[in-house]
Structure 1
Amino acid sequence: MERITAKYYIETPLDLEKSAQLLAGEQSSGTFIAVPGETEELKQRFAARVESITPMDTANEPAIPGVLSAGGKYQRAMIEVSWSIENFGYNLPVMVSTLQGNLYELTQFTGLKLMDLELPASFATAFKGPKFGIAGCRKLTGVYNRPLIGTIIKPSIGMTPEQTAALVNTLALAGIDFIKDDELLGSSANSPFDKRVDAIMEVINRHADRSGKKVMYAFNISDDIDQMQRNYEKILRSGGTSAMISLNSVGLAGVKKIGEIGELAIHGHRNGWGMLNRHPLLGIEFPAYQQLWRLAGVDQIHVNGIQNKFWESDDSVVRSIEACFKPLLGGYSVLPVVSSGQWGGQAVETYRRVPSVDLLYMAGGGIMAHPDGPAGGVVALQQAWQGAVDGLSVAETAAKYPEFGHSVSVFGKKQA
C-alpha cells in the first residue's frame, strides 16, 4: 500500500526516539494510553512509522513554551514519518489533520515544523492539480522568454470601478501582462464585484481587440463557496482569464472545488503566511505548503521576493521559488509569484540567485509610484529584467535604459 512521508523539524527535552514514536502514535492509531481494540493487526495496517531520525543541535532554552520545557537540554532533529494512504485516502482536509493537526499541541515538543512532503504516485490520478501552470499562463498572456510583469491595484481599497478601469487602461497601454485585485478588496461598498468586473473587462477586451494582447486580471473571488462560484462564472462570461483566491482564508476544500472547474487560471495569494511560518520551529515550511495547493489546483502562488519589505530572508525566498520548480507527480506546474516591495532593482539579484525567467514578477508601488507614472513603471521593470538576463549590473542597466534609470533615482535611494 502506498505511503505518504512527512519530514519534520522538532525540538524536545525528551529522548528523540521516544518523541518521534509519540508523534507517530498520536497521529495514527495511538493515544496517551493503550486502549481496547488497538490490536497488533490494526497497528500493522494503520499505525504511522518513524522512518528516520537525524539528530542536529541542542539548545539551552525551549523554542516555544511547553509543559515539559523546564530545565535541561532541548534536542533538535529532523525526523521522517510515514502513513499508509489507507488512513485518509484522497481527502486533503483529513490528510492535513493527520500530518499536522494536534501535533502542535503536544507538550512533549518545544518546537515542531512540517518541512516537506513525499506524495505517492496515485495522487496524480486522484487530483486534477493546476490546469494552466507556467506554460498555460504564458499562453494566456502571450508572454514568452521573460518574466510576466504584473502589478496590484493601489490604493488597495477605496477606488470605484470606473477609477480602477481607468488605471487598468493606462497599464494595458503600457504593456502590462498581469494585474490583480488587492487581497483586501472583495466586493466593497463603492466597488461591487460585478460592477468592477464589467468596468475592467470592458477595457481589457477593447485593448485585446485592438492589440491582440489580453491582459490577465486576477479578480479576488474569495468568499463562501457558492458566492465564489458565482464570481467565477461572472469573470468567465465577461471574457476574463484569471481568479485570485486568498488560500489561507478560503481553505483547501474551497480552493479545490473552484480549481477543479478548470477554466480560469487560479492566482493563489498566501496572505497570512507569517502566522504559519515566521517562527523557525513552529508551523510549516513552503516546500510542504506549496505541494498542498498544487494538489488543490493553484496555477500561481506567492513566494515573496528578494530584498522584500517583510521579514522573510532572501535564502527562504530562493528555497520557495526552487520548491515551485521541483517536479511534482509528473506535472502539476505552478508559476512562482515574486512580490512585496519589489521594483526593477531586485531583478539582478533575483536572476543571479534563481537563473530562470519562469516567474510572475509583481510590483505595486514599484510601478504605481514610478516618477514617469505607471506606464514608466511597467517599461522600467521590463528593462530591468532585460538587463538582468543580459548580465548587466543595476548601474549599467540604469545607464542604458532611461525609464529604469528614473526608477533607480527614486527606489534606489529608498532601498539604500
Structure 2
Amino acid sequence: MKKADIDAFYADRVSLDRQKYIVLEYYLETLIEPREAAAHLCQEMSTAQWSRVGVDEDFRPEFGAKVVELTVLDDQARPSSPYLVSTMGSTAERVARVNVTIWYPYHNFGTKIPNLLTVVCGEGVFHAPNICAIRLVDIDFPESFLADFQGPQFGVAGLRDMLGVYDRPLLFGVIKPNVGLPPEPFAQLGFEAWSGGLDIAKDDEQLGDVDWSSVEERSRRLGALRKRAEELTGEKKIYLCNITDEVDRLLELHDIAVKNGANAVMVNGMTTGFSAVRMLRKHAQVPIVSHFDLMGPFIQLPWFGVKDQVFTKIQRMAGFDVLIYPGFDHRLKTSKEDVLANAKACLQPMGSLKPTLPVPAGSQWAGSLQPLYETLGSVDFGIVPGRAVFGHPQGPRGGAASLRQGWEAVEKGIDLKEYSWTHRELQQAIEMHTS
C-alpha cells in the first residue's frame, strides 16, 4: 500500500465533525507494519476501492473510515492467536499488538443496527489483510445517531415504579426446575417465591413456547398467581415471560403473555437479533428483558471477537429495559472490571436514552448482594438466582426470604453470618452455599 494511500485513512480528530462519526476502539495483532495494517482495516470496512478505473475521483474524504489514534503495545511478542497466524500461511515470530481508534462516518449505512454490525463486526474487519487477531473493544455514538433510537420504554425508574421499590436492588429468580415442569406446578413455584419476598419470577432462557408448556397456559397460570401474591403480600410483583421465538411470532407471543397477566417479557436478543428487539420495542406494552445467550462465543477471548460492553450499548439502544449479563462466577469467565463496565454502559448518560437496569448473573445467592453493591456503588442493579431460591431447604418462600435478609444485613452494616443467627432462612442459605 502506497504511503499516500495509507495517509488517506488517517485524520486529526479536530478536523472531523463528531456528530457525523461513530468511534470504534479495536485491539489487533498484525503481521505487517501497524500503520499500514490500520489503514488496510479502514479501507476494508469502508470504501474498499475508492474510485472507478479511469475516473479522477476519490470517495475516501467523505466515506472513508479514519484512524485518529494508534498505539503500538508490543512489536516483538509472539501472537496471542497462533492458530489464526497458521491459517494465514505464516509462521511469523514477530507480531505487532496494537490499539487503534477509528472514526467511522455513519452516513455510510444509516441508523440501522444490522448495517451497523455489518460494518463494525463484518467481513471487512475480521478478514482484513494481514491482521491475525482483532477485537472490537468499545463503541461510542454521537447524539445525532442516538436520536433515532427509542431505547428503553420503562428503564430503571419505570421498573421501580411498577414494583414500588426504590431503595434496594431488585430481586429476580429463575424458576427451577427450569425445563420439563408442566405449567401448573411451575406457576406454583413462582407464587411461593413471590410470597417469600421475590420481586420478579422469571422463565429460564431455554423455556420458550413449547407443546408441554405453552406461553398461553404458562402466562395465564403465573399471571393469576402473581395477582394473588400481590394481594397476599401487599407488594407489587412481576412475572417475566420468555417469548423468544422466530421473529415473526414475537409480537403475537407478547400479546398473549400480556393479555394473560405477564407484566414483562424476556427475549434472547443475541439469538433473535437486535433489530427484532427494536421492532418489538415499538409494539411492547411492558418492560423487555434481555438474556445473554450466544454472547459467550464473541466475548470470552481477550484478543478476538467483541467486548461485551459493545453489545450492552447496542441492546440499550434497541430498547431493553433490563439487561441480564455475565457476572461474578468462575464459569462465566467475567472479571470485576467487566461487570462494572457493563453496569456503567447500562446506567451512564447515553443521549436521551433511559438507563437500563444491569443484572449481573451467575450462581447468585444472598451473599452476592454485598460484593455487587460495593463494586457497582449503587442500588440500581438486580440479582437473578435460581437454585438459591428454588432449591432452598424451606422451598422458594425460604429462598426468597433469604435474599431479603441478605440485603437487610447490607443495609444495617451487619456481617452476613452474624445476621443469620437470628434469621433461619439466611442461615440455611449460607449452609447451602458453603456445603
Answer yes or no: same fold by TM over 0.5.
yes
Letter of the aligned partner of 1:94 in structure 2? N
Q: TM-score normalized by structure 2? A: 0.89
Given that 2:290 and 2:323 are in contact with CA atoms closer than 8 Å, whether structure 1 keeps it comes out as yes
Partner of 2:91: 70
Kindly tell me the number of residue pairs found equivalent between the two proteins.
Answer: 412
Measured after TM superposition, the shift of residue 15 of structure 1 is 1.1
- Provide the rounded CA distance (Å) in 1 between the counterparts of 2:62 and 2:337: 40
Report 1:24-35 matches (<5 A): 24-31=42-49
SS across alignment from 1:65 = helix
CA distance in 2, matches of 1:37, 1:163: 73
Measured after TM superposition, the shift of residue 368 of structure 1 is 1.1
* Mapping for residues 181-200 of structure 1, pairs under 5 Å: 181-200=203-222
Aligned to 1:89: 110
Deviates more, 1:309-318 or 1:92-101: 309-318
Residue in structure 2 matching 1:154, options 170, 176, 181: 176
Q: 2:260 aligned with 1:238, yes or no? A: yes
Kindly state the Cα deviation for residue 203 of structure 1 after the two structures are TM-superposed: 0.9
Q: Taking structure 1 as the reference length, what is the TM-score of the superposition?
A: 0.93
- Which among 37, 46, 51 is matched to residue 63 of structure 2? 46
Counterpart Cα distance in 2 of 1:328 and 1:25: 29
Deviates more, 1:55-64 or 1:106-115: 55-64
How much has 1:337 moved relative to structure 2? 1.1
CA 1:199–1:54: 2 relative to 1, 3 Å = same
What per-residue deviation string (whole Å, max 9, x for no partner) do you get for residues 263-309 of structure 1? 11010011122101111111111221111111110111122222454
For 2:383, the equivalent position in structure 1 comes to 361
Runs (5+) with no aligned partner, structure 1: none
- Residues 62 and 74 in structure 1, CA contact (< 8 A), matched pair in contact too: no
Give 1:253's match in structure 2, choosing from 271, 275, 278.
275
1:12-23 to 2 correspondence within 5 Å? 12-23=30-41
Q: Aligned pair in 2 of structure 1 residues 52, 204: CA closer, same or farther (>3 Å)?
A: same
- Please tell me whether the aligned partners of residues 268 and 300 of structure 1 are also in contact (alpha carbons under 8 angstroms): yes
Deviation at 1:192, TM superposition (A): 1.4
CA distance in 2, matches of 1:168, 1:162: 10
| 1:173–1:313 Cα change, 3 Å | same
CA contact (8 A) 2:46 2:64 kept: yes
After the TM superposition, which of the residue ranges 116-125 and 3-12 deviates more from structure 2? 116-125
Q: Percent identity?
A: 27
Partners of 1:283 and 1:126 lie apart in 2 by: 27
Q: State the one-letter code of the partner of 1:235.
A: A
Q: Which residue of 2 aligns with 1:386?
A: 408
The letter for the 2-side match of 1:305 is G
Distance between the aligned counterparts of 2:414 and 2:53, measured in 1?
Answer: 70
Q: How much has 1:127 moved relative to structure 2? A: 0.8
Is 1:115 the equivalent of 2:137? yes
Structure 1: distance between partners of 2:55 and 2:267? 42
- Aligned amino acid, residue 74 of structure 2: D
* 1:212–1:400 CA distance, 2 compared to 1 (3 A): closer
Distance in 2, Cα, partners of 1:381 & 1:35: 65
Q: CA RMSD in A?
A: 2.0
Which of 74, 95, 99 is the aligned partner of 2:120? Answer: 99
SS of aligned partner of 2:421: helix
1:196-236 deviation digits (Å, cap 9, x = unpaired): 11111111123334544332111111112231111111122
